[in-house]
Amino acid sequence: MRVNCIINGKPRCFEVDASMKLRQMLLLNGNFAVRDSDDSEGFCGSDTVLVDGTPVFSNLVLAAEVDGCEIRTPDGLGNSRNLTIVQQAMIDAGVVQSAYNAPAAALLLTWLLENNPDPTKEDIRDALSGIFIRDAGYEHYYLAVRLALEKMKDGSYKSEIAPSFRPELDVIGKPASKIDGPQLVSGERAFVEDYVTPDTCYMAVLRSPHASAYINSIDDSEARKVEGVVEVLTAFNTPETHYMQAGQGNPEPSPHDRRLFNLKVRHVGDRVAAVIAETLEAAKEACSKIKVDYEVLPAVFTVEDAMAPGAPLVHNGIVEYRSGAPEDLDEYNKLAGDPREGKVIYQFPLHADIRKNIAASNKGEIGNVDEAFARSDAVVEATYQTSQIQHTPLEPHICFAKMEGGRLVVYASTQVPYHVRRIVGWVTGLPENRIHVIKTRVGGGYGSKQDILIEDLTSYASFVTGRPVFCRNTREEEFIANSTRHPMRVHVKMSGNKDGRLTGIYMEVCANTGPYGNHCLTVPMNSCSKTLPLFRCDNMRYDLKVYYTNTPPAGAYQGYGTPKGTYGLMMAMAELADKLGIDYKEFVLKNHVDEGYMLEILKGLGEGREGNVVPVGSCGLDEAIRKGCDMIEWGKKETCDDPDWKIGKGFAMIMQGSGLPGLDHSEAIAKLETDGTVILNSGGADIGTGLDTISAKIVAEVLKLPMDKITVVSGDTDSCAFDTGSYASSGTFFSGNASLAATRKLKDMIIREAAFQMQEDEADLEVRYPGEIYSQKTGKTLSYYDLSHTACGGAGHGQMIAHGTFVTDASSVPYGAHFAQVAVNVRTGEIKVQKFYALQDAGTPINPEVALCQMYGAVMKSIGHTLHEDMILDKEGRCVNANMTDYGVPMISEAPEDFKAVLIDVNDKFGPFGAKSISEIACNGAAPAIGIAIHDACGIWLRSWPMTPEKVLKELGKF
Amino acid sequence: MAEIRQLIMARTAESAVALKGRRSAFLAGGTEINRLGSTVEASRLIGIGRIDALDGIDKITDEENGIEYVRIGAMSSFQDIIESSIVPSYLKEACLFMGSRTKRNMATIGGNIALRRTDSYLYATLLACNAKLSLMCRDGAIIRRCAKGYLEDHEEYRDMLITEILVPAEATVASKRYSNTAQSHAVLTVSAAEIDGVLRIAVAAKDTFLGLLPEISAEFSGRIPSDEELLQMVASDGKLCFRDDMFGSSRYKRYLLSVTIADLAKKVRGGR
């Protein structure tokens, strides 16, 4: 069929078949910014275009339907050098973060303002109701519209974008455009899929239909006959190397308990085979022709199943230790089962017992908890259950690998490029010098791209075939074959006295790590290590066990274990306040830590090693609690005209970390180019959070150089130096400090060289905006341009290049308090979050507008986890809602009507320019704040996620 | 997703109907047929988006009973209906149950009716208000059926094309939809209307039932049953075989339906 249409003002003609979607046709036309986040589900809106002036999902339109139509795509707006007012306003408002569908959002806002020059908040909400924003939330989209309108009407912005911090600094702590914003918002080449070459092969993965089964045999003969098939990979023709996929430190505590393909599948969706073919269709067809003979085994899906005596074992093979093997290991290994079980290799002991499905465990205590319970006026004890949650990044897991000059080049959407390189090295046997990982822009990570879930297999496929190979998870695969948030059962016992003093805390954490042990120790440890140090309490004990099960795998997720621990502890604290007859606010204020309090509890809470006992550093916790209570009018009872709706308020104090002191490591290289501009090579991985902008601002601040004279190259393992990556809230603190160290060294070099060239004393020289050296003694100046030009001339000292490294034992902990006001319908069980106030101490927020958006985005995620999101498995272990619509992510319709993020101004001693982390902590508060508010509204304690209307009604005894 | 081998863009309703065969389907807004996991199975699609006769919204008076109706072309999108100045608010409210504006720009009222989904956004409301449908037969003749008749005798109408929908311009109708999020499939959509003094209660219960509840409606004659009585009626209504599933337990669904019926009935009768 012939389609004549106009695309972005230009006439175009296509030959299409009946089934071709409009998006496919647009891709043929080069409009690659029309993206796909949901495999044609009509949900996420990444595929939004305008057809004859109306926004539609291009994946739900057949190409033949647009014959004679006029089509506008996101890339038809401005380009990065000539942005439209709307695109620029989005960047300035801070909403362009991971930005996979930011171009689509820009198109929608452009359409809105073209058709409604004076939109209300409701109009904006309506326009954005078809687009899923996971990273930045929706609040600053309202601001973006306001800014755009101001610019259109008055030529400049009138509204404040975000508060500014540190008046003595030029760019740090001030809103400024994110440096990758123009590229991202305009839909230019940025993501892995944009770099795929025409000769690329596609990979499809055959996945297990069983939760647990041995593979007896695989017959791939018919699959290999499919035209275009290049290779079929299975457990029978791939290495027996055991490894793990967690990208965190080295050695990382997670057990090496998997191969590329195992002879035992351990969850529905586990890898069975992979087909590499010249087209995706051929790869899929070949997958369907692979015959697998399974020996189906019984499975376990919950920690209760897994811990039951005689429970089926998820791993029952040989156990090895790289260090610290127990003396009875040989005896233990005599109990190993079928050889197809494979091995579990521990890097060091994790107090595991795979014959009881225990992947790891730990416990510790300060003071005497039992004695405290016995002597206290009141004790509460309750169990809190959290569910399995998927990250749902807009860009699914994706990888493109190719062999080039005998080296493996891997384009990865990853938070940890250097760990990708290391793990790809393990599975291919290549040394690191022969692997080049290029981290592209990342269309959403949230922890899931901290794990090497797709890069291992894609890279191996390219390595063995010699062909470029591309692999992109389907949305269903994102649910069933990725990492997820560990479901946890947190049992809390807490005691206090009527004078308002907390006397004892015990928490038992049982975590479900699924079939493999990615982050199996560290996530549950985090449930304790990032929660117990909030409390001024002398008697605390924790006991955690992590179980293998046959559910979809668990791993890192923004907040790590902290949201679950915070939920249990803060709910228990509210229950205890209730029992003691004390106002919860006063109880919290009396028992939280503040600066200088010695955190003895940290002694046993290292990540697989002894922890550092340190005093609390900079801490805005008290201010956050008091300010938030004022904002939400704590103590004032709200009512509704409809007697079925009851209103309540709640809050929770929260903390996180800023990277892992003693474990994380960052490096940067700062180069003064020959024209006086600077290129900073940062090992840090900007995953949309503005880390590159932070590095650029640090350079600008130290060297007094305009931002447009600074370029940051990051996450490229060839050109940059090592960095452990973006996880555990490490970006600003670790990578930022490495950038600062490199830049300060470069400044020293500049001063030294200038002293030589100017024949002055170094002590008399200073750097000055816009990039020059000034002599306070003689008044002479020398531009960076002239300085570098001379240095790189035949008689100079050469290019000025500085290398900065950052490691530390210091902890910079962000604190905060999150507040919710909810309305609960006691007749129908419906829950509405009317107000949500997030107050956080981020030290010096280097990019304040970006920081605020990350708070909004993280809170939206945690509201989703609290009220809506849940991976539901049937009795066979199949996820029955492995799609966006049924899974239940919150969108703009679910956002609180009154939603505020507030930055508490605290200057930190160790962070770059006083900065601490910002984003991850914002995942921690919603569940307890909402849970406590629900209790305040209608008197029930909801002790499991998600807090659904059905659970409300059950607790109220309605049925 | 349907395996589409042929797409024909019809220019007239008559030609569209003439093309309809067993393995073919009418392509309206495309939000279902082109969707991942679509339930529509057809190898040939007949595009009806270019047929002018299926557009438009106006008012007419039924010559038989003198009732004023709003006539809505079957290809009117949900958003067209919301933006119309003459469509009654109860139907606009139902259209707004579709949370995504972009999808509302695409989805059509005719397409939504033809799908007869148990999580339908509109069908409960259309049943409650006693909407009429105009259907074009293979010979080009137009017949008119009520929404209830179209639902119950669908096999008879499956090759006919819905050309327009008539809803009472003045009616007291109240609807309520329950879903996890605004974008999620509904577990329950309930609608109640008072038509000629008679209460009509309709329900779209996910994977369970789509239709009117005449027996329960009849219990409202001259009185309002208690919540307990309604729960008993819902539990004993053979059409409402709720199951435990990812949308909730059967007990939850029965309870929710019963209180919602009570609330909507009160609402349309001017109570609470």
Q: Across A308-434, where does the E strand assignment appear?
A: 318-321, 343-346, 358-366, 378-385, 398-404, 407-412
Nearest to A249 by CA among A790, A931, A807, A915: A807
Using pLDDT thresholds of 50, 70 and 90, give the confidence band for residue B223.
confident
- Are the Cβ atoms of A129 and B47 closer than 8 angstroms? no
- Rounded CA-CA distance A757/A781 in Å is 11
Distance CA B51, CA B49 (A): 6
If phi > 0 it is left, if psi is from -120 to 50 it is alpha, else beta; for residue B93 that is alpha
Closest alpha carbon within chain B to A887: B184
A67 touches chain B (CB under 8 A): yes
Q: Is the Cβ pair A885, B182 closer than 8 Å? A: no
Sorting pLDDT into bands at 50, 70 and 90, what band is B2? low
State whether A886 and B106 contact (CB < 8 Å): no
Identify the residue whose tokens are 């880390």.
A691
> Would you tell me which CATH number, out of the four given (1.20.1260.10, 3.30.710.10, 3.90.1170.50, 1.50.10.10), belongs to the domain A196-297+397-472?
3.90.1170.50
How many whole angstroms from its chain centre is CA A261?
Answer: 27
**What is the pLDDT of chain B when averaged over all its residues?**
95
Query: Could you confirm whether domain B53-168 is CATH 3.30.930.10?
Result: no
pLDDT at A113 over 50: yes
- Rounded Cα distance between A105 and B100, Å, is 14
Q: Give residue-wise pLDDT tens across range A547-571.
A: 999 999 999 999 999 999 999 999 9
- For Cα atoms A782, A785, A791, give the angle at the middle one, nearest 5 degrees: 85
**Cβ(A922)–Cβ(A904) below 8 Å:** no
* Cα nearest neighbour of B9 on chain A: A65
Q: Is the pLDDT of residue B22 over 90?
A: no
Helices (H) and strands (E) in chain B, counts: 11, 12
Residues of chain A with CATH 3.90.1170.50: 196-297+397-472
- Return the CATH fold of B172-268: Enolase-like; domain 1 (3.30.390)
Does the structure show a pLDDT above 60 at B271?
no
How far is the C-alpha of B58 from the C-alpha of B61, rounded, in Å? Answer: 10
CA distance A110 to chain B (A): 14
Query: Looking at chain A from residue 597 to 656, which residues have their Cβ under 8 Å from any Cβ of chain B?
Result: none
State the average pLDDT over residues A526-538.
96
Read off the pLDDT band of B63 (50, 70, 90): confident
C-alpha A365/C-alpha A562 separation (Å) is 19
Beta-carbon separation of B182 and A894 below 8 A: yes
Confidence of residue A337 (pLDDT cuts 50, 70, 90): very high
Distance CA(A560)–CA(A865), nearest Å, equals 13
Which listed CATH number (3.40.190.10, 3.10.20.30, 3.30.365.10, 2.40.50.140) goes with A488-660+811-955?
3.30.365.10
Q: Which two tokens stand for residue B70?
A: 């709003």
Residue B272 confidence class, pLDDT cut points 50, 70, 90: very low
Q: Where in chain A is the domain with CATH 3.30.365.10?
A: 488-660+811-955, 666-806
Question: Cβ(A693)–Cβ(A853) under 8 Å?
Answer: no
Can you list the positions of beta strands (E) in A475-576? 488-496, 502-514, 540-548
Read off the pLDDT band of A101 (50, 70, 90).
very high
Q: If pLDDT is split at 50, 70 and 90, which confidence band does B209 have? A: very high
Q: Where in chain A is the domain with CATH 3.10.20.30?
A: 2-76
Span A289-312, pLDDT tens digits: 999 999 999 999 999 999 999 999
pLDDT above 80: residue A606: no
Alpha helices in A227-361 (DSSP H): 280-288, 303-307, 329-333
Which secondary structure element, helix H or strand E, spans residue A837, and what is its range?
A: strand A831-841
Is residue A831 within 8 Å of residue A894, measured between CB atoms? no
Mean pLDDT over the full length of chain A: 97
Cα nearest neighbour of B253 on chain A: A950
CA distance B66 to chain A (A): 37
In whole angstroms, what is the distance from residue A233 CA to residue A574 CA? Answer: 54
- B22–chain A Cβ distance below 8 A for any pair: no
Q: Which positions in chain B touch A1 (Cβ < 8 Å)?
A: 7
Query: What value does the mean pLDDT take over residues A417-441?
Result: 98
pLDDT of residue B196 exceeding 90, the answer is no
Pick the CATH number of A2-76 from 1.10.10.60, 3.30.1280.10, 1.20.140.160, 3.10.20.30: 3.10.20.30
Percent of chain A with pLDDT over 70: 100
pLDDT for res A249: 81
Peptide bond into A946 cis (omega under 30): yes
Tokens 């100045």, residue located = B85
Closest CA to A55 of A72, A69, A38: A72
Contacts of A351 (CB under 8 A, 6+ apart): A358, A360, A361, A362
Q: What percent of chain A has pLDDT over 90?
A: 96
Pairs of CB atoms within 8 A across A/B: 141
The shortest CB-CB distance from A868 to any of B35, B181, B256 is to B181
User: Is residue A448 within 8 Å of residue A392, measured between CB atoms?
Assistant: no
Q: Does A529 touch chain B (CB under 8 A)?
A: no
Residues of B in contact with A872 (CB under 8 A): 246
Name the A residues in 471-510 with CB < 8 Å from any B CB. 475
User: What residue in A sits closest to B188 (Cα-Cα)?
Assistant: A828
Percent helix, strand, coil in chain A, to 5, is 30, 25, 45
3-state SS class at B194: strand
With a cut of 80, say whether residue A22 has pLDDT above it. Answer: yes
**Chain-chain contact of B101 with A64 (C-beta, under 8 angstroms):** no
Q: For residue A48, give the chain B residue with the closest CA.
A: B102
Neighbours of A245 (CB within 10 A): 24
Alpha helices in A810-956 (DSSP H): 848-867, 884-887, 926-938, 949-955
Place of tokens 């395996």: B3
d(CA B19, CA B13): 10
Residue with the two structure tokens 């078949």: A17
Nearest to B183 among A43, A55, A65 (CB): A43
Identity at A757, one-letter amino acid code = Q
Q: Edge to edge, what strands does the sheet with A801-806 contain?
A: A710-714, A678-682, A666-672, A801-806
Locate the domains of chain B by residue range.
6-47, 53-168, 172-268
Which residue spans within A129-260 are E strands per DSSP? 201-207, 213-219, 229-234
A813 Cα distance to chain centroid = 18
What pLDDT score was predicted for residue A55? 98
**Whether A21 contacts chain B with CB within 8 A:** yes
**CB-CB neighbours of A154 under 10 Å:** 9
Question: Does residue A371 sit at the B interface (CB-CB below 8 Å)?
Answer: no
- Phi first, then psi, for residue A776 (nearest 5°) are -70, -20
**Is residue A561 helix, strand or coil?**
coil
Residue B36 touches partner A, C-beta closer than 8 Å: yes
CB count in 10 Å sphere of residue A615: 11
pLDDT at B242: 97
pLDDT at B1 over 70: no
Cross-chain residue pair B183–A893, CB shorter than 8 Å: yes
CB contact under 8 A, A891 and B9: no
Chain B residues within an 8 Å CB radius of A954: 252
Q: At what angle do helices A85-93 and A848-867 cross, to 10 degrees?
A: 80
CA distances from B39 to A65, A388, B32, B42, B117 (A): 21, 28, 8, 10, 10
Residues whose CB falls within 8 Å of the CB of residue B64, separated by 6 or more in sequence, listed in order:
none
Contact A893 B99 (CB under 8 A): yes
Residue whose entry in the numeric block shows the structure tokens 């009418």: B26
Tell whether B49 is within 8 A of chain A (Cβ): yes
Interchain CB distance below 8 Å, A41 and B35: yes
Q: Does A56 touch chain B (CB under 8 A)?
A: yes
In this prediction, residue A608 has a pLDDT band, given cuts at 50, 70 and 90, of low
Rounded Cα–Cα distance for residues A300 and A257 (Å):
18
Subunit contact A67:B9, Cβ cutoff 8 A:
yes
**C-beta atoms of B181 and A60 within 8 A:** no
pLDDT band of A604, cuts 50, 70, 90: confident
- What 3-state DSSP class applies to A268? coil
Instruction: Give the Cβ contact number of residue B53 at 10 Å.
Output: 15
| CB A933 within 8 Å of CB A870 | no
From chain B, the residues in CB contact with A40 under 8 A are 1, 34-36
Give the separation between CA A836 and CA A116, rounded to whole angstroms: 29
For A889-944, the pLDDT digits (tens) are 999 999 999 999 999 999 999 999 999 999 899 999 999 999 999 999 999 999 99
CA distance A61 to chain B (A): 6
Tell me which chain A residue has its CA closest to the CA of residue B184: A885
Q: Which pair of tokens denotes residue A460?
A: 């191996």
Q: Is B137 on the interface with A (CB under 8 A)?
A: no
Give pLDDT, residue B5: 80
Q: Which of residues 803-842 of A touch B (CB under 8 A)?
A: 827-830
* Residue B137 C-alpha, separation from nearest chain A C-alpha, in angstroms: 25
Among the partner-chain residues A67, A128, A872, the one whose CB lies closest to the CB of B246 is A872
**Is the CB of A57 inside 8 Å of chain B's CB atoms?**
yes
Strand partners, A492: A382, A507
| Residue contact B35–A126, C-beta within 8 A | no
Interface residue A388 vs chain B (CB under 8 A): no
Question: What pairing do the DSSP bridges indicate for beta strands B209-212 and B198-205?
Answer: antiparallel
CA–CA dist A303, A307 (Å, integer): 6
User: Does residue A813 contact residue A619 with C-beta atoms inside 8 Å?
Assistant: yes
8 A C-beta contact, residue A50 and residue A111: yes
Residues 882-911 of A with CB under 8 A from B: 883-886, 888-891, 893-894
Name the residue among B1, B106, B231 with its Cβ closest to that of A56: B106
- Tens of pLDDT, residue by residue over A190-243, are 999 999 999 999 999 999 999 999 999 999 999 999 999 999 999 999 999 999
B266–A contact, CB cutoff 8 A: no
Question: Least CB-CB distance to A958: which of B7, B180, B255?
Answer: B255
**HSE (side-chain half, CA atoms, 13 Å) at A625:** 21
Q: Locate CATH 1.10.150.120 in chain A.
A: 85-192
Give me the CATH topology for the region A666-806: Aldehyde Oxidoreductase; domain 4 (3.30.365)
Tell me the chain A residues in contact with residue B255 when contact means C-beta distances shorter than 8 Å: 953, 958-959
Nearest in space to B125 (alpha carbons), one of B98, B79, B170, B93? B93
For chain B, percent of residues with pLDDT exceeding 90: 87
Q: What is the pLDDT of residues A124-173, one digit of tens each?
A: 999 999 999 999 999 999 999 999 999 999 999 999 999 999 999 999 99
User: B260 and A828: CB-CB below 8 Å?
Assistant: yes
Residues contacting A461, CB < 8 A, separation 6+: A201, A203, A231, A233, A274, A276, A401, A469, A471
Mean pLDDT of A772-795: 96
Class of domain A85-192: mainly alpha
In tens, the pLDDT along A185-203 reads: 999 999 999 999 999 999 9
Rounded to two decimals, the ipTM of the complex is: 0.97
